[in-house]
Homo-oligomer: A and B are copies of this chain.
Amino acid sequence: MFTHKTPRVAAARRLTTRSGRSKAGRFLAEGAQAVGEALASAHRVQELFVTPVAAQRHGTLVRRARDRGITVSAVTERAGELLSETVTPQGLVAVCDSVDVPLPAALAGQAHLVAVLVGVTDPGNAGTVVRTADAAGADAVVFLGDSVDVHNGKSVRASAGSVFHVPIARAERLDDVLAACRSAGLTTVAADGKAHQDLVGYQRSARLGRPTAWLFGSEAHGLDGHTVAAADEAVRVPIYGGAESLNLASAATVCLYSSAMARRQEGRSD
């Protein structure tokens, strides 16, 4: 049985840091849900570490991994803990190839709905947006500039497996993203709490259901003025009560679902 000192386990542990993930081009998916979604997806799983307790509990998953020709290694409870990024280690950790693809690949085909995260730093929020984007049928999620790494353990967990469903791209420059979205036929829309028009007005003008790339800013500051000005449109989520704002994940949920539902409502096929 592998311990935390076994070189392959030690190498996997380095994937709990951003620089380790970046160097290896790999990340960790922990727990039955994430591992199950990784195995069910087309993404490459390199290796599966499993503690004796988890092997008993998740026999089907372990067999499925073996059937796919993936190396399954038994590890000690201590190694399982050290490979874990959660408070309650699951004892089941897969080493996966990074899921992100180049921007043009993420936008290939007929894109209808894209979420662009501009400087989003909270990994849980980022993962939740990926999950919501997936549920809303988004074609891609783009992580721009200094946004958090989607392969962070907290992001992967909050995404509830959606990092393996929806194409994810990383991009450095806003202009590149806006240009790529426009070439793909998408209107770029900044979600901005200070925008003049709100979602209801935007919906009335029958523009909400159009192919759209939504831009979302950071939890603390939203989008900066330059980004808002560079987008084709700026729209705010209306606040009807006493709250100052919505949290980022909630605002993104309203925007992405409003677009997805308006498209079906309007019976659009573009």
CA distance A257 to B203 in the complex (A): 13
Please, what's the 1-or-0 string for A222-258, where 1 marks a CB less than 8 Å from any CB in chain B?
0000000000000001111111111101100110011
CA distance A261 to B245 in the complex (A): 16
CB distance from A235 to the nearest CB of B (A): 12
CB distance from A200 to the nearest CB of B (A): 5
CB distance from A228 to the nearest CB of B (A): 20
CA distance A245 to B250 in the complex (A): 15
| Interchain CB contact under 8 A, B200 and A261 | yes
A237: B residues at CB distance < 8 A: 135, 257
CB distance from A127 to the nearest CB of B (A): 10
| Interchain CB contact under 8 A, B240 and A260 | yes
Does A185 interact with chain B (Cβ within 8 Å)? no
A258: B residues at CB distance < 8 A: 257-258, 261
| Interchain CB contact under 8 A, A160 and B241 | no
| Interchain CB contact under 8 A, A246 and B203 | no
CA distance A14 to B254 in the complex (A): 38
Given contacts A135-B240, A135-B245, A160-B245, 15 further A-B contacts (CB under 8 A): A128-B247, A132-B246, A132-B250, A133-B241, A135-B237, A135-B241, A135-B243, A136-B240, A160-B247, A200-B261, A203-B265, A204-B265, A237-B257, A238-B261, A249-B250
| Interchain CB contact under 8 A, A243 and B162 | yes
Does A28 interact with chain B (Cβ within 8 Å)? no
| Interchain CB contact under 8 A, A241 and B138 | yes
